[in-house]
Amino acid sequence: MSETTAAAVYRSSQGDEKKVSLDVQRAKGPELSNQLGADLTREVDLGIHTGFSAFTKGIDTEDRIDNHPEIQELLEEIRASKYDYLLAYDDSRLTRDDFFFVMHYACIEGDCVMTFSDDIDLDSLEFRVRRVVE
């Protein structure tokens, strides 16, 4: 029987590294992993990062989440089925724009379930409309 594994992403848009929301995210990742019965084998802690990708910032901007080496490596590992779960406090902690759907698709390819501390139904129309409007 194989072990159940999880990766977690922590990120905040603004402030500094001492921001309370980052501390909350860092505490919730292991809690959520334990609730799922998964070993948290990877934590991607981006600290303060805008969370925007080329979808919003343009391809010529360097400080993009889709351009971040840890995110690129995480996506490769997800597609290779290294994790059963991708954890985050909420969907906006992964990314602030349409790059979310790139990450979601990687999870589909790698049979990895996106799971959040907040109860978020990724298949609902409400969720999809909110992502586009935000």
Q: pLDDT of 29-77, one tens digit each?
A: 999 999 999 999 999 999 999 999 998 899 999 889 999 999 999 999 9
Q: What is the pLDDT of residue 14?
A: 75
Q: What is the pLDDT of residue 85?
A: 98
When the pLDDT of each residue in the chain is averaged and rounded to a whole number, the result is 89
Residue-wise pLDDT tens digits, 95-105: 988 899 999 99
13 pLDDT band, cuts 50/70/90, is confident
Q: What is the pLDDT of residue 36?
A: 95
Alpha-carbon gap, residue 31 to 6, rounded angstroms? 12
Instruction: Work out the angle between the directed axes of helices 69-79 and 99-109 (0-180°, nearest 10).
Output: 30
120 pLDDT band, cuts 50/70/90, is confident
Alpha-carbon gap, residue 65 to 68, rounded angstroms? 5
* pTM reported for the whole predicted model: 0.88
Q: What is the pLDDT of residue 1?
A: 36
113 pLDDT band, cuts 50/70/90, is very high
Rg (CA), the chain: 14
- Characterize 73-83 residue by residue with b for buried, 16 or more Cβ atoms within 10 angstroms of its Cβ, and e for exposed: ebbebbbeeeb
